[in-house]
Structure 1
């Protein structure tokens, strides 16, 4: 950062010639020097604005320790960068009362043991400050042009926040009004370190009207608005070992916050939904370096993970929206009103993921059934709700989510009547439905049933229905004939035709098993209701 600090001034030749010694405020030498002010007044505070390095010979300093302490308090209250006292004219050594007062106020006190020309100090330091201010103006123009370019090409919020973090070399967090960390851009520290106990820490820092330092941790905070009202805020966190924020940090954060505000003016970016989706996908594929990082990221979005039962749910939906509202947006709006804390996000174009946090002693089935029935009422019967096993550790969510996805893949139209589905609901029809895109399954169906399908197509017959009835009756011809409404003789003739076409023996249990699997797979491939490949069952 192109700003002069007290430590920088002490390294200048014009100062080192005076053999400077730091007598107090050693930990505050990284303060920015905004200007140099030479004064011998007893009440200089009325001429100062803060950030000045005050030079004095100490000539007018009072001898009374109380008045000397009041002099130091004035300087500290106005926020000067430091006090430089030249020895030799008034003092042969720094008075203990002056040193003690500066230490109490943590004000840098520099003693020059050899005389220097103050005019040379002011000229040198002011020239460097003006150069730094010119550099700041050039940097400000560059930063403004960069964020303007990002805004004009419609950059996403993640890129805007990351750009701010890269420019400032500090972590930057975008959060909403309820203190959920929507985006966290790293710079120098991991997400885990930045987001530790995030909601609690965030509430201790107030939101100023414009970028300013706030809170006990010294965060730099800038508001992010939407159409005249507050949406959230952008927060820059100081590095533990780095210097405090300077005007360039403030300028970067203000430009980034303005770009985010403009982004919200162009529409209603689903930043919260994208944040939820990102965490859910990272959990599904376990992209975290540790369980702690995963826990902190989830908790930063408002999901309690300790002392709760975590329930992964996958929702498949054929319609992306209904009345302009997507399944994901509908769930995100409805769940909080019912008191359910959850992450809700898109896993794919037609699949929504939920990770619910429920009380360990509560039953999850009523909650899921209520969610499922609400979705089917709004978006139709084609909505499939698949539930993975509940877990108590976030590290176990990945396995449970994958099981829920496997269940969702297996649920076909034949099973749409259930409100929700779990792994135990996956039988042979569901298994074959999940394998419907496998070429080997398709070839198997063709080898087993191809001739029968072709015969029905050419002759308008329904031998497939006859075969299904026979197999469902476990080979009992009388029951099967009655089910399809045929005489036993007519039914027997159809069975002989099937045996001839397929070159099989229907009396063989093994042969019937093969045909049963093939016919179930055929129904899965063609989306028919199980047991009735050509429509509804006869009355």
Structure 2
């Protein structure tokens, strides 16, 4: 485990040979490392004092062996055998005191230790080996007690997550925070559904994810595997393997890549994810698409590289250079994951890579990734057919084509504006089944802005006195004004449309001018009144 954690929260680094040599009780002997300098980071599991010619038979590995040198064989072959047995059993280091028998380490011992990569340390002064044992063992036992307490906290944390019904994002985030490592949840086809980076970026974690993941063969248990040394654990659902969770090694680590606590964290992560899968019925692939789309729309990615890596890890080709955002408003009030699934399946059947996810209740966002020469209109027409099959009143809106994934937010924003400016029952253009930005005229723009109080205030300011007069006196001046404006100021045409004589029309227009204090011969003022009438129609209809 690494030790880059906040004080009191993370794991303690294992005690190493270098740590023991730095202890005051050892430093008093003026230790000198003769061989094995690169291996001083070996963890020390125990300290063993010996004056036997075959100490390896009493060792289990990881021991720091202390000796006065008295039992060393006289012959070089015996010395080599002595060192080989220590190295074979996995001793951490050999410490020899140069006080009684030797005043310099024998050449045969130095050569044997160097050959086997066993750290050989000499002590120039007498050291109380028993005191060394007591100090080191106290430290080791203290570390073990700390490790037990940390393991207990890990179990308690995941138990609390499960009891609170945590979703997969919460579980993976907790694993990354506890381990200080990047943690990734993937499905069986090697799509990274959730990535919680720690000490790295999403880009660094997920670039070429599928290729790297396929090179890391799955196992039946928690294990370190693959060329990058990932720690992985299988995730099951109803007795069948569903995917796996991977903990990535940190870029810089002074000790072992993964320790027992990492394994505990990942195993509990896998268990908690299994429970979360049972609690949260929405397919996690759909949730991953939703989250990725919402992050794109709201520009929540740290960088364009992070966005590309995350989307590519979900199956959106990173080499595509054309993207189109589509918004499907079902307008049913039902919601649910089925429409997302149906639309995604339709695109997959057409061989079109895309992200599909719910952006808001009853509103589904779709990001199409297109090849350079691939037209998008036939694809959207196919989506329209599916959407209308799901809901007869569905409205499909399209944003402009963009050439960079980071610009997809603009395409989605345009598609959303088109959707907001499309009232129920809005006729479709004659040549297509969807709406786009060029379809928005003045009336649809006012419809989109209908909840803005400034539009409401403007309408009341322009027409309020006329409406009040009609209400109080039973006149139809508002209708007369509408006929006049629709006729572009032609009084004869307006009179004919209203079934009025020319004289009556003139009289009514003078009354309108007096009530509103407007000059109806002014083109600008007629335009302002026409806009107010359109706004009034929109406000009354909706």
Q: Which bin holds the TM-score, normalised by the shorter protein? A: 0.7 to 0.9
Task: Report if aligned partners of 2:352, 2:369 keep a CA contact under 8 Å in 1.
Answer: yes
Please point out which of 112, 117, 127 is paired with 2:122.
112
3-state secondary structure, aligned to 1:368: helix
* Cα distance in structure 1, aligned partners of 2:37 and 2:370: 52
Please point out which of 344, 353, 356 is paired with 2:356.
344
2:245 counterpart of 1:231: no
Task: Report if aligned partners of 1:452, 1:498 keep a CA contact under 8 Å in 2.
Answer: no
3-state secondary structure, aligned to 2:402: coil
Task: Report if aligned partners of 2:183, 2:246 keep a CA contact under 8 Å in 1.
Answer: yes
Counterpart residue number, 1:205: 216
Counterpart residue number, 2:17: 6
When residues 354 and 489 of structure 1 are mapped into structure 2, their CA distance, relative to the original with a 3 A threshold, is: closer
* Cα distance in structure 1, aligned partners of 2:470 and 2:392: 33
Counterpart residue number, 2:165: 154
Counterpart residue number, 1:426: 440
* Cα distance in structure 1, aligned partners of 2:489 and 2:78: 111
Task: Report if aligned partners of 1:314, 1:401 keep a CA contact under 8 Å in 2.
Answer: yes
**Structure 1 residue runs without a partner (length 5+):** 529-539
**Structure 2 residue runs without a partner (length 5+):** 1-10
Q: 1:216-365 counterparts in 2 under 5 A?
A: 216-242=227-253, 243-244=255-256, 245-321=258-334, 325-365=337-377
* Cα distance in structure 2, aligned partners of 1:386 and 1:208: 45
Q: Give the deviation of 1:95 after TM superposition.
A: 4.1
Stretch of structure 1 that moved more, 450-459 or 349-358: 450-459
Q: Deviations over 1:315-367 (max 9, x none)?
A: 33322536x54533443444334322222233333433222211111001111
Please point out which of 136, 159, 168 is paired with 1:125.
136
* Cα distance in structure 2, aligned partners of 1:301 and 1:188: 22
When residues 142 and 478 of structure 1 are mapped into structure 2, their CA distance, relative to the original with a 3 A threshold, is: same
3-state secondary structure, aligned to 2:435: coil
Counterpart residue number, 1:394: 405
Q: Deviations over 1:33-83 (max 9, x none)?
A: 334456767794x876654445675836984599769937x946x6x3623
* Cα distance in structure 1, aligned partners of 2:245 and 2:34: 39
Task: Report if aligned partners of 2:339, 2:390 keep a CA contact under 8 Å in 1.
Answer: no
TM-score for the superposition, normalised by structure 2: 0.79
Counterpart residue number, 2:452: 438
* Cα distance in structure 1, aligned partners of 2:229 and 2:434: 49
Q: Deviations over 1:408-467 (max 9, x none)?
A: 222222535352222111112221111111223224444555677779989999998887
2:531 counterpart of 1:520: no
* Cα distance in structure 2, aligned partners of 1:247 and 1:359: 47
Stretch of structure 1 that moved more, 367-376 or 338-347: 338-347
Cα RMSD (Å) of the superposition? 4.1
* Cα distance in structure 2, aligned partners of 1:19 and 1:297: 54
Counterpart residue number, 1:59: 72
When residues 389 and 68 of structure 1 are mapped into structure 2, their CA distance, relative to the original with a 3 A threshold, is: farther
3-state secondary structure, aligned to 1:134: helix
Q: Give the deviation of 1:23 after TM superposition.
A: 4.4
Q: Give the deviation of 1:20 after TM superposition.
A: 3.6
* Cα distance in structure 1, aligned partners of 2:508 and 2:148: 88
3-state secondary structure, aligned to 1:354: strand
Q: Give the deviation of 1:302 after TM superposition.
A: 2.6
Q: Give the deviation of 1:370 after TM superposition.
A: 0.8
Counterpart residue number, 1:406: 417
When residues 332 and 61 of structure 1 are mapped into structure 2, their CA distance, relative to the original with a 3 A threshold, is: farther
Q: Give the deviation of 1:26 after TM superposition.
A: 3.5
Counterpart residue number, 1:83: 93
Task: Report if aligned partners of 2:84, 2:116 keep a CA contact under 8 Å in 1.
Answer: no
Q: Give the deviation of 1:375 after TM superposition.
A: 0.9
When residues 337 and 228 of structure 1 are mapped into structure 2, their CA distance, relative to the original with a 3 A threshold, is: farther
Q: Give the deviation of 1:276 after TM superposition.
A: 3.0
3-state secondary structure, aligned to 2:301: coil
When residues 361 and 451 of structure 1 are mapped into structure 2, their CA distance, relative to the original with a 3 A threshold, is: same
Stretch of structure 1 that moved more, 34-43 or 414-423: 34-43
Counterpart residue number, 2:383: 371
Task: Report if aligned partners of 1:313, 1:385 keep a CA contact under 8 Å in 2.
Answer: yes
Q: Give the deviation of 1:195 after TM superposition.
A: 2.9
Q: Give the deviation of 1:391 after TM superposition.
A: 1.8
3-state secondary structure, aligned to 1:321: coil
* Cα distance in structure 1, aligned partners of 2:263 and 2:464: 73
When residues 261 and 494 of structure 1 are mapped into structure 2, their CA distance, relative to the original with a 3 A threshold, is: farther
3-state secondary structure, aligned to 1:182: strand
Stretch of structure 1 that moved more, 390-399 or 114-123: 114-123
TM-score for the superposition, normalised by structure 1: 0.79
